[in-house]
């Protein structure tokens, strides 16, 4: 279920399907594969990199992003809010809430910003990319056979909190992200894998080496 994914760093991924290349939060992308679809979860620099978008986009590239990010983009742009469901370039998309509730990080990702995660149907498998979020009540009902969850703490859930969300979601596979670069360390992934049991966890190796 992860064979078609490349993890660059943080929350940045490429999914390569048959005749389509889909990027999520591209940042420090190392390949020259032009994008058919780009999904942006929110406006922070490690998720919304105009430099990467400009390098990856072609005239037909469609970009899906929250309203504040979409307002900064031109071309084929779809502005979304939590709860939206639609199809983009043949990919079924559901935008889900992503925000903080922990007191110490309320200002990092306020609910009022209407930032998002995404559930994407890619070649018949559903993938949930959580963006930057805490374990909020709305997420317990989110579908997805594979769940990409932030675990780094400080700005998002830490490994223990993310493991709790993984158990609530009960996907076939959980994948930790958003650690080892800006926040969190490589050891957080092992803690997440241990605490998420019985959910199966797959720890990917990023293209860029960890810095923390």
Look at residue 191 and tell me if it is in a domain.
Answer: yes
Look at residue 99 and tell me if it is in a domain.
Answer: yes
pLDDT of amino acid 212? 66
Helix (H/G/I), strand (E/B), else coil: 5:
strand
Cβ 189 vs Cβ 162: under 8 Å: no
Look at residue 134 and tell me if it is in a domain.
Answer: yes
pLDDT of amino acid 13? 98
Look at residue 147 and tell me if it is in a domain.
Answer: yes
Look at residue 208 and tell me if it is in a domain.
Answer: no
Share of the chain above pLDDT 70, in %: 100
Look at residue 201 and tell me if it is in a domain.
Answer: no
Token reading at 15: 């999914």
141-162 pLDDT per residue, tens: 899 999 999 999 999 999 999 9
84-107 pLDDT per residue, tens: 999 999 999 999 999 999 999 999
The domain in which residue 162 lies consists of 5-195
Assign residue 70 the CATH number of its domain: 3.60.15.10
Look at residue 202 and tell me if it is in a domain.
Answer: no
Token reading at 148: 């990409």
Confidence (pTM) = 0.97
Class of residue 91 by CB neighbours under 10 A (exposed 0-12, middle 13-18, buried 19+): buried
Look at residue 156 and tell me if it is in a domain.
Answer: yes
Report how many domains make up the chain: 1
Q: What is the mean pLDDT of the chain?
A: 97
Is the pLDDT at 191 greater than 90? The verdict is: yes
38-64 pLDDT per residue, tens: 999 999 999 999 999 999 999 999 999
| CA–CA distance, 15 with 45 (Å, rounded to integer) | 21
Band (12; pLDDT cuts 50, 70, 90): very high
């Amino acid at each position: 279920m992860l064979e078609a994914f490349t993890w660059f760093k943080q929350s940045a991924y490429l999914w390569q399907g048959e005749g389509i290349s889909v990027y999520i939060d591209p940042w420090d992308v190392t390949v020259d594969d032009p994008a058919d679809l780009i999904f942006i979860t929110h406006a922070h620099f490690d998720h919304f990199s105009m430099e990467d978008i400009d390098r990856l986009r072609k005239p037909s590239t469609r970009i899906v992003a929250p309203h504040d990010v979409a307002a900064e983009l031109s071309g084929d742009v779809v502005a979304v809010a939590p709860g939206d469901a639609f199809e983009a370039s043949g990919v079924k998309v559901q935008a889900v809430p992503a925000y903080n509730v922990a007191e110490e990080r309320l200002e990092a990702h306020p609910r009022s910003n209407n930032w998002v995660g995404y559930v994407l149907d890619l070649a018949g498998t559903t993938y949930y990319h959580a963006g930057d979020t805490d374990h909020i009540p709305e997420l317990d009902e989110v579908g997805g056979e594979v769940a990409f969850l932030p675990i780094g703490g400080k700005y998002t859930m830490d490994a223990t909190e993310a493991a709790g969300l993984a158990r609530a979601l009960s996907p076939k596979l959980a994948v930790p992200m958003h650690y080892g670069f800006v926040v969190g360390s490589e050891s957080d992934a092992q803690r997440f894998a241990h605490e998420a049991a019985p959910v199966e966890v797959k720890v990917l190796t990023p293209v860029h080496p960890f810095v923390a």
